[in-house]
Amino acid sequence: MKTVLVVGSSNTDMIIRVAHIPRPGETVLGGDFSMAPGGKGANQAVAAARAGGRVRLIARVGEDVFGERAVLNFEADGIEVRFVLRDGRAASGVALINVAADGQNSISVASGANAFLVPEDVLKAEPAFEGADIVLMQLETPVETVRAAAELASIRGIPFMLNPAPARPLGDDLLATVGVLTPNETETEILTGIKVETGEDARRAAAALRARGPRLVVVTLGDKGCYAAGEGFEGAVPAFQVRAVDTTAAGDVFCGALAVALAEKRPTADALRFASAAAALSVTKLGAQPSAPRRAEIDRFLIDRAGPPTT
């Protein structure tokens, strides 16, 4: 079992199912309300753990019921939590999510304690890097914290994987430390100025991002799959077609599963196929972390849909 170190955010998701996403100024009477653990860092940690990784998490939560419940949930998935800090200055992060009938969503986030995960926290948690096979981060914590983790990973020779979400511009100094970069279409456009509407757009954008440092760039395209460019592999990987119920955290599940597959030294094409299967399974269920599939489910899905992986 390979070790995945996740550094990032933890939120509680408050979810309302609605007929359609509200427009500005519009009130939509929704249906069911639910709460579920979320946050991109936490989502990816849970996804990696269920996909077969040994996971450690560096994060901050508030000293409140949401933070307490988050830690209990991490422990239930076998995630090592000794590097999850409790913060008395801020509440735990919260996300308000509208999920439409077609599975699309809109999300507003109050970062709370996530905003106080600082570089010093990463440096104090340096033992978490010991024996890690890959480090996985996102952008729901300060970018200085991302840089600190990237530098520690580089010093130790650990592959560093960055999901650049939520979207923001990033400097070449940070991108030069990234081994695997996984932007979606919006994030790709912000990073490159290339609007991704076609396969050729994805190819050009991936090439532009690779030129800035990452050894593998995976442009995720939702239900159209992804386009990847790296050493030994370049091309489109189609998504598995399923009936979507909720697309929340599908990208996080993809990233968590991909981190595990890459840590296991799978060929890039097989790693992307594994991650795509995990993401497809996740959209058939409601919620962020509750939707993350387990390893046996992913393996069974791959055999049922496409036959056993190549070796």
Dump the DSSP string for 179-194: SEE--BHHHHHHHHS-
Look up residue 214 and give its amino acid: P
Pairing mode, if any, of strands 11-17 and 93-99?
parallel
CA gap 43, 255 in Å, rounded: 9
Token pair for 125 = 């948690």
Residues 6+ apart with CB under 8 A from 307: none
Cis peptide before 166 (omega within 30 of 0): yes
Residues 6+ apart with CB under 8 A from 162: 136, 137, 138, 139, 146, 150, 178, 180, 181, 182
Options 13, 102, 252, 270, the catalytic residue: 252
- Would the pTM count as exceeding 0.85? yes
Q: Is 256 helix (H, G, I), strand (E, B) or coil?
A: helix
Token pair for 234 = 């370049």
pLDDT at 310 over 80: no
Q: What is the pLDDT of residues 251-305, one digit of tens each?
A: 999 999 999 999 999 999 999 999 999 999 999 998 889 899 999 999 999 999 8
Q: What is the pLDDT of residues 5-39, one digit of tens each?
A: 999 999 998 989 899 999 999 999 877 898 889 99
**Site of tokens 């962020």:** 288
Residues 6+ apart with CB under 8 A from 258: 161, 180, 182, 218, 271, 272, 274, 275
How confident is the model at residue 105, as a pLDDT?
A: 86
252 is catalytic: yes
Q: What is the pLDDT of residues 210-235, one digit of tens each?
A: 999 999 999 999 999 999 999 889 99
CB atoms within 10 A of CB 115: 18
CB atoms within 10 A of CB 120: 11
Domains of the chain from N-terminus onward: 3-22+32-306 (3.40.1190.20)
